[in-house]
Amino acid sequence: MSSASSDPSAVQLESIGQIAIYATDLARSTKFYGETLGLKHLFDAGTMSFFQCGDVRLLIGASDKPVATGGVILYFRVADINQTCNVLSARGVAIVQPPHLVARMPHHDLWLAVLSDPDGHPIELMCEMPHAAV
């Protein structure tokens, strides 16, 4: 019996290298993701702007058509969800749903907060808060 790695017809996707979303105003979205959210801007290429987000590259592409805002949600890990929401709110980001407990796990609690980008794409902040040592 052969393993999937030795089977030339097998496909195994390893990781996400890039995610693309489209914007109606590239300059506005580039400023939002770079300056407001603090993602590292990598480069621009034509009607696209690229950012580094951990191991994943985020592509913001210009669109002259209405942008669909459903289907994909970007989740960003943050160390302190309350502080991050306070900073982003001070920068003018509307917090659609403030930080809230989603699930109690054995070693941490999962908290989420919801905001959106200038085109209405949903963005969620996620924070895994460790349980206090007793």
Q: pLDDT tens digits, residue range 76-108?
A: 999 999 999 999 999 999 999 999 999 999 899
Is 79 found in the same domain as 29? no
What's the Rg (C-alpha) of the chain?
A: 18
Can you tell me the distance from the alpha carbon of 41 to that of 26, in angstroms, rounded to the nearest whole number? Answer: 13
Is 52 found in the same domain as 94? no
Residue 2 has what pLDDT?
46
| Inter-residue contact 93 to 115 (CB < 8 Å) | yes
Structure tokens at 124: 């969620």
Residue 83 has what pLDDT?
95
Q: No. of H helices and E strands in the chain? A: 2, 8
Kind and range of the H or E run holding 21: strand 18-23
Per the structure, the count of domains in the chain is: 2
Return the number of other C-beta atoms located less than 10 Å from residue 79's C-beta: 9
Is 83 found in the same domain as 60? no
Q: What is the mean pLDDT of each successive set of 10 residues along the chain, which is 134 residues long? A: 62 85 94 97 95 95 82 90 95 95 92 94 93 66
Range of the domain at 33: 14-65
Residue 13 has what pLDDT?
76
Residue 133 has what pLDDT?
57
Can you tell me the distance from the alpha carbon of 39 to that of 50, in angstroms, rounded to the nearest whole number? Answer: 10
Q: Residue 77 belongs to a domain with what CATH number?
A: 3.10.180.10
**Domain for residue 80, yes or no?**
yes
Task: Quote the pTM value.
Answer: 0.81
Is 43 found in the same domain as 94? no
